[in-house]
């Protein structure tokens, strides 16, 4: 079939736009990530003298870095509409966020939609696949204190021990509040067939839009972070924890991400922007942690129920274009998530100005030494 001049122009424009966006992303990374590292190196004396202030500043810089990632999608027209409970109400409390996992864009979507949730982004910890350690953002996550988990049965027990140790060492000593994990343990397209076979073998529901979750990491987080008065076990950590008088983990936020027509946005699309503008829908349900069972078998059943509910939510969304109303509501209410373009330009400008400043400093010292 012959390609018309108009079609050729559209393709050319899309390719040019993708190339320019990629160039901007590379430049952005080359100035923002080294600047983040260098600021924290310079601030190491503050870490010794006033650890709380150091991690506050680190959290602000971390939030700005995540906002830069969010801006790539926002300026490409990949926006978010939110449904269900309003998580802003618990943004200052400790919470565990359980998210379904479809593509690499899920992380970018969360980086965007949590930007306007108070202090959440700067005080959050991520659990992610160990492969992300080797990406351009890996060094930032390592410094921030995120946990990289290695998948596979052979590593499972050891990884859970390491997760517990990591939480005890870093979670409250760095004043973390939210912890985000993807309990399915991988992308939907990769795990669906195995999950369905497991469900059939164990008389569990047949799921198409999600997979049955793995329970290990969730159980470790609950045991380690729930306050003693709620589960009778130590909350974990060092002397800093005692000083903070933490109430412990208070909420579980069940988060469901739905893409138009069930077509996930991956990180390549997020960066290059070659896909038409799209609205991603994010649904929240908040559960008090006291209502979450601690006993392994009961917790497994509880977690399975959450993902069975996610299946129903997504089925309803793909059939109607909207999530169903919450219990007690007659109509589902959606909220359009917005970001300030002025603020995004401001932090991008700060990144490039910081890069220029560090370059001048290095040039000065180089000429002084040589």
Q: Does residue 315 fall inside a structural domain?
A: yes
Distance, CA of 127 to CA of 147 (rounded, Å) = 5
Q: Does 148 reside within a domain?
A: yes
pLDDT in tens, 178-225: 999 999 988 888 888 888 898 889 999 999 999 999 999 999 999 999
Question: What pLDDT does 326 receive?
Answer: 83
Instruction: Tell me whether residue 111 is in a domain.
Output: yes
In this prediction, residue 365 carries a pLDDT of 86
In a domain, 139, yes or no: yes
Name the percent of the chain lying above pLDDT 90. Answer: 70
Residue 253, domain member (yes or no): yes
Residue 127, exposed/middle/buried by CB under 10 A (0-12, 13-18, 19+)? buried
Q: What is the pLDDT of residue 135?
A: 79
222-231 pLDDT, tens per residue? 999 997 654 4
- Mean predicted confidence (pLDDT) in 100-105: 92
Question: Dihedral of CA 162/164/170/176: which sign?
Answer: positive
What is the arithmetic mean of pLDDT over 114-119? 92
Name the band, by pLDDT with cuts 50, 70 and 90, for residue 3: low
Could you tell me if 323 and 283 are in contact, meaning their C-beta atoms sit under 8 angstroms apart?
yes
CATH of the domain at 192: 3.40.1130
Q: Is residue 295 part of a domain?
A: yes
Instruction: Kindly report the pTM of this predicted structure.
Output: 0.89
Hey, how many other C-beta atoms are within 10 angstroms of the C-beta on 30? 14
Question: pLDDT value at position 239?
Answer: 35
Q: Specify the pLDDT at position 208.
A: 93
- Total domains present in the chain: 1
Neighbours of 117 (CB within 10 A): 18
Instruction: Give the model's confidence band at 244: pLDDT under 50 very low, under 70 low, under 90 confident, else very high.
Output: very low
240 domain residue, yes or no: no
Question: Residue 255 to residues 29, 73, 115, 285, 302: CA-CA distances in angstroms?
Answer: 29, 20, 15, 7, 15
Mean residue pLDDT across the chain? 89
Per-residue model confidence (pLDDT) at position 240? 39
Q: What is the mean pLDDT of residues 152-167?
A: 86
Q: What is the pLDDT of residues 274-329, one digit of tens each?
A: 999 999 999 999 999 999 998 999 999 999 999 999 999 999 999 999 999 888 77
Number of H helices, E strands in the chain: 13, 8
Residue 134, domain member (yes or no)? yes
Question: For residue 358, what pLDDT is reported?
Answer: 93
Domain residues for the domain of 306 are: 78-227+247-342
Give the percent of the chain with pLDDT over 70.
94
Closest CA to 258 of 179, 195, 315: 315
């Amino acid at each position: 079939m012959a390609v018309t001049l108009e079609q050729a122009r559209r393709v050319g424009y899309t390719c040019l736009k993708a190339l320019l966006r990629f160039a901007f992303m590379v430049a952005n990374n080359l100035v923002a990530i080294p600047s983040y590292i260098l600021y924290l190196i310079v601030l190491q004396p503050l870490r010794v003298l006033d650890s709380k202030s150091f991690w506050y500043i680190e959290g602000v810089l971390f939030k700005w870095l995540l906002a830069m990632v969010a801006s790539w999608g926002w300026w490409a027209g990949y926006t978010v509409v939110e449904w269900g409970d309003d998580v802003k109400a618990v943004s200052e409390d400790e919470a565990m966020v359980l998210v379904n996992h479809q593509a690499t864009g899920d992380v970018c979507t969360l980086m965007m939609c949590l930007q306007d949730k108070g202090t959440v982004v700067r005080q959050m910890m991520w659990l992610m696949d160990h492969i992300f350690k080797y990406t351009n953002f890996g060094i930032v996550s390592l410094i921030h204190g995120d946990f990289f988990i290695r998948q596979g049965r052979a590593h499972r027990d050891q990884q859970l021990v390491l997760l517990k140790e990591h939480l005890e060492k870093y979670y409250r000593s760095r004043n973390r509040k939210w912890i985000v994990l993807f309990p399915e343990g991988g992308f939907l397209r990769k795990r669906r067939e195995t999950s369905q076979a497991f469900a059939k073998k164990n008389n569990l529901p047949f799921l198409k839009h999600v997979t049955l979750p793995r329970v290990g990491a969730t159980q470790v987080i609950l045991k380690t972070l729930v306050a003693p008065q709620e589960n009778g076990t130590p909350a974990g950590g060092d002397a800093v924890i005692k000083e903070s008088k933490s109430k412990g983990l208070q909420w579980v936020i069940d988060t469901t991400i739905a893409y138009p027509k069930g077509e996930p946005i991956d990180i390549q699309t997020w960066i290059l922007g070659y896909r038409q503008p799209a609205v991603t829908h994010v649904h929240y349900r908040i559960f008090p942690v006291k209502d979450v069972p601690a006993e392994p078998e009961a917790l497994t059943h509880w977690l399975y129920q959450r993902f069975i509910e996610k299946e129903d939510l997504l089925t309803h969304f793909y059939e109607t274009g909207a999530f169903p109303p919450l219990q007690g509501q007659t109509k589902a209410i959606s909220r359009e998530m917005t970001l300030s373009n002025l603020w995004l330009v401001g932090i991008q400008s700060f990144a490039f100005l910081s890069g220029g400043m560090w370059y001048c400093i290095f040039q000065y010292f180089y000429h002084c030494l040589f």
